[in-house]
Structure 1
Amino acid sequence: MSKIYGYVRVSTKEQNPDRQLVALKQAGVSAANIYMDKISGKDFNRPNYRKMVRRLTKDSVVYVKSIDRLGRNYKEIMDEWRYITQVKGADIVVIALPLLDTRRSKNLLGTFISDMVLQLLSFVAENERRNIRQRQAEGIAAAKERGVRFGRPRKPLPENFYGQYDLWHSGKCSLTQAAKACNMPISTFYVKCKQIKQEA
């Protein structure tokens, strides 16, 4: 009897995997045999995916909702697909595309069609990943041009900072004394002083 597994992947912890889980359960995969990673699809170094693959045998079937849930790197998707189907001898079913079901049409024509579709979809998955990254970079650049700041908000300077800066700058106290009076690390105080000089 075949052992049925399911694989679910979302790129971040905030993303919701429910649609994938529902599709796998509807396909007959038990919750105990569903493996999930919340990580990028750029490669296959994913703990739960690797755990699932280690369990595969010749009578296993792996269900995945769509090819981009398996991965987003063209070459690695192809390599992993061949490893599962040829080395492990297991089958793969892509729920969203019935043509990608290695249990069917194991003759030469069926394999040829399946390989062509897989190559096309793997290319699309990687291309979409590249497009997402480019759109993100363009969005960040445009936001920076509009003056949007990224990262943690800056801490306000201590009220006595400018007074201590003047004392240090005029040589009336040392850098260490000025930083200590502001309750700041020496390096932070110095960097802030350099910024003020540049802005002046």
Structure 2
Amino acid sequence: MKIAYGRVSAKDQNPERQLIKFRALGVEERNIFVDKQSGKNFDRPYYQAMRLMIRAGDLIYLDALDRLGRDYDGIIREWQYITQEIGADIVCLDNETLFDSRKFRAMGDIGKVLETQFLSILAYVAEQERKKNRQRQTEGIEVAKAAGVKFGRPKQNITPEFIRVYNHWKSGAIKAVEAMRELDMKNRTFYRRVKEYEQSFGGEFSKYEELSTN
């Protein structure tokens, strides 16, 4: 049976390019598994589901080796489990000449040795590339911070509208849920903003607002 596994690193990334390849190879939709999360480990729901489904003689397609994972030891462990313990085969479409376990299987026992050594080298290279990318990202963030770029969610300012609703809530004129609805804020956001306001301004703006509206 043909099975395919695809992966993208984030939920907003599109795996369609991988899916097109799998469909062109005749893999049925029900046998295509795709995760949208990091490849740092193998605790991925669709990967684990596929893993349980694999049987001897199956053929598993990957778009590339790093779609299987990005952990050096994990890649080798999973590859050997699928090809040697289960008896299925794996083909990486970005480099079928090198990554096709059927070729190693045809070589018998010596093929297992060559496959392990070859995979170790390639998996190591893939992991080192991941570390380099992470280092470059860290360095880029540090450079951006030094240039004054701020990261994280932008902090909302205390607006006159917030102060007005805050005053009504504090005076008992409205309940907290009504205040949240007026400000279009969720529970945590509302109380966090209340805390920031009271700690930063000590209620002075609240008093000012009351005086300015009289």
Residue in 2 that maps onto 1:140: 141
Aligned residues: 175
Point out the more displaced range, 32-41 or 116-125.
Answer: 116-125
Code of the aligned partner of 2:27 = V
- Cα 1:94–1:143 change in 2 (3 A) is same
Structure 1 residue 192 displacement after superposition: 2.9
- CA positional deviation for 1:158: 4.2
Q: How does 1:30-179 map to 2 (within 5 A)?
A: 30-98=28-96, 99-106=98-105, 107-158=108-159
Choose 4-13 or 132-141, whichever is displaced more.
132-141
SS in 1 for 2:39: coil
- Tell me if structure 1 keeps the 8 A contact 2:104–2:114: no
Task: State how far apart, in whole Å, the 1-side matches of 2:111 and 2:95 are.
Answer: 14
Counterpart AA for 1:104: K
Report if the CA contact (8 A) 1:100-1:117 is conserved.
Answer: no
Q: CA deviation at 1:100?
A: 2.0
Kept after mapping to 2: 8 A contact 1:71/1:125 = no
TM-score (norm 1): 0.76
Q: Is the alpha carbon distance of 1:131 and 1:114 closer, same or farther for their aligned partners in structure 2, counting shifts above 3 Å? A: same
- Structure 2: tracts of 5 or more residues without a match: 161-166, 172-178, 180-189, 203-214
Deviation at 1:193, TM superposition (A): 5.5
- Measure how far apart 1:97 and its partner are: 2.1
Equivalent position of 1:164 in the other structure: none
Residues 1:122 and 1:191: Cα distance change in structure 2 (over 3 Å): farther
Greater helix share, structure number: 2
1:14 is paired with a residue whose SS is coil
Amino acid at match of 2:103: R
Using the alignment, how far apart are the partners of 1:109 and 1:89 within structure 2? 16
Amino acid at match of 2:21: A
Distance, in Å, in 1 between the alignment partners of 2:82 and 2:27 is 18
Gap change, CA 1:86 and 1:121, over 3 Å in 2? same
> Per-residue displacement from partner, 1:15-42 (whole Å, max 9, x unpaired)?
2212211222233322221100000000
1:191 Cα deviation after fit: 4.5
* Aligned residue number for residue 165 of structure 1: none
Residue 197 (structure 2) pairs with residue 189 (structure 1): yes
Q: Is the 8 A contact 1:11 1:40 kept in 2?
A: yes
- TM-score if structure 2 supplies the norm length? 0.71
* Letter matched to residue 189 of structure 1: Y
Q: Which runs of 4+ in 1 moved over 4 A?
A: 183-186
Equivalent-residue separation in structure 1 for 2:88 and 2:199 (angstroms): 59
SS in 1 for 2:111: helix
Equivalent of 1:8 in 3, 6, 31 = 6
* Distance in 2, Cα, partners of 1:21 & 1:158: 48
